[in-house]
Amino acid sequence: MVNKTDNSRLCFEFPSYFIWLFRAIYRALRKSGNFILLSSPLSKKQVIFDRHQNNLFSVSVRDKIDLKIVNDLFSREDYGVHRLARRLDIESLYSKILSEGGNPLIVDLGANCGLASIYFSRKFPYAKIVGLEPDLGNFNLATLNCSSYPNISFIQAGISSEDGKGDIINLDDDNWSFRTEISDKGSLDMLSMNTLLKQQKFSDSTPFIVKIDIEGFEENLFEKNTEWLDKFPLLIIELHDWMIPNSANSQNFLRCVSKLNRDFIYINENVFSIKNI
């Protein structure tokens, strides 16, 4: 039984909540993952325990979609490199960049509400992280969620193969499924990766990880001007042929990556492309 306290949050009655919390902690402690989710799934503020850093942090969520992202990123660890045979290579490269006085750069394309950026920050706390997010609502929540992480910044823009203008074409859809298109009359800035990497604030940074989840716009991103790709030792991308059938949407990415000396690992929804040095 639950009591409705307002339009956005439901709270368990006192005994029921603590029974739920005890069971949640017990289940989490039996798992080998790095993060323990402590909040009720009905709470708009999700509190998470980071075993590695031995501290608590919280993120704000709006709905069941944001909650699903919390579970995917922190419980399931969809972007975790710990499952890869080359985990030590990636971690050693991160340490090498730092030891040489550099800043490992992580680029989060399709940052949504900022949770992937937080995940990467907690795994690689000395990295500089920049997220691109085209939707203003997602961008604002990402900025709020990451306000206590000085190494994370966001740009409200879409990513593209070249600079220009664009629009979000499906604003009535769920907040994790927004799609962009090029439009000369569009109101949204579209940045190329080459332009992004040339920004002054990244001049002292070394490309390390790029994560891409842009709802099918990877067809445009990998159409041309792709020399940036092999600068990143690790690329993590979700492909969307399943969402846009009969379009060969992944063809440009596959054509581009197949010319490079990189490993190709598929885990759940994501491809992990690792540079061979």
CA dihedral 176, 84, 266, 218 (to 10 degrees): 50
Above 50 in pLDDT, residue 45? yes
Task: Report residue 85's pLDDT band, with 50, 70 and 90 as the boundaries.
Answer: very high
Token look-up 């920049």 returns 130
Residues 142/130, Cβ–Cβ less than 8 Å = no
Return the ∠ at Cα 206 (arms to 203 and 148), rounded to 5°.
80
Question: What is residue 131's three-state secondary structure?
Answer: strand
For a pLDDT cut of 70, what percent of the chain falls above it?
Answer: 88
- Confidence at residue 34, expressed as pLDDT on a 0 to 100 scale: 92
CA distances from 66 to 6, 42, 48, 53, 114 (A): 19, 12, 14, 23, 10
Which position has the token pair 């608590």? 56
How would you classify the pairing of strands 205-212 and 45-50? unpaired
Contact 38, 25 (CB under 8 A): yes
Instruction: Provide the CATH number for the domain formed by 81-275 in this structure.
Output: 3.40.50.150
Residues near 60 by beta carbon (within 8 Å), at least 6 away in sequence: 44, 45, 46, 113, 141, 144, 145
**Total residues found in the chain within this entry:** 277
Query: Does pLDDT of 56 surpass 70?
Result: yes
Q: pLDDT (tens digit, 9 = 90+) per residue, 194-235? A: 999 999 899 899 999 999 999 999 999 999 999 999 999 999
If you average pLDDT over every residue of the chain, what do you get? 91
pLDDT for the residue 90: 98
**What are 132-155's pLDDT values in tens digits?**
999 999 999 999 999 999 999 999
Whether 58 contacts 45, CB under 8 Å: yes
For the chain, what is the radius of gyration of the CA atoms? 19
Rounded CA-CA distance 99/92 in Å is 10
The pLDDT, as a whole number, for residue 33 is 78
Q: What is the pLDDT at residue 9? A: 43
Residue spans per domain, the chain = 2-60, 81-275
Residue 96 has pLDDT above 80, yes or no: yes
